[in-house]
Amino acid sequence: PVENVVFADAAPAGRYKIYVQNFNFHAKLLPEHMQVARMQERRKAVHEEQRLRLSRDRPVLFELLVKVEGSYKLFTGLCTPLGKTHEQSNVPVFEFDYDPGARREEDRLTPV
């Protein structure tokens, strides 16, 4: 899943808090090339492996790219603690103050 938050014009000055949220669980399927390889080897997934792929207790990896003007920050991590979804699964990732009026670009984004 991908979400994009974009301001049509300039973002207003203020404090921004960025969270990652698991909206829902979906069956985690193996990539096609791995499925084909298993079929060619006549190998089936063991029960434990199937349970982990379909479980609500499995971690969900995320990558988050924050771009503010010319500044980029990449975050990675795990969301879905204890199989939670929606607001209960919120993982705080990055909080910053944004001042579009700062003279120097490096002063416009200040991590909190």
Average pLDDT over residues 100-111: 90
Query: pLDDT at position 44, please?
Result: 64
Average pLDDT over residues 47-51: 62
Average pLDDT over residues 68-75: 86
The residue among 62 and 45 whose pLDDT is bigger is 62
Confidence bin at 57 (pLDDT 50/70/90): low
Query: pLDDT at position 58, please?
Result: 65
To the question of pTM greater than 0.75 for the whole model, the response is no
Determine how many CB atoms are found less than 10 A away from the CB of residue 80.
21
The residue among 66 and 85 whose pLDDT is bigger is 66
Q: Dump pLDDT digits (tens) for 5-41.
A: 888 788 899 999 998 887 776 665 666 676 667 767 7
Determine how many CB atoms are found less than 10 A away from the CB of residue 19.
14
The residues, ordered by sequence, that sit 6+ positions from 41 with a Cβ below 8 Å of its Cβ are none
User: Can you read off the two tokens belonging to residue 5?
Assistant: 């938050």
Average pLDDT over residues 84-104: 87
AA letter at 51: R
CA 77 to chain centre: 7
> Strand pairing of 71-79 and 91-98?
unpaired
The residues, ordered by sequence, that sit 6+ positions from 42 with a Cβ below 8 Å of its Cβ are none
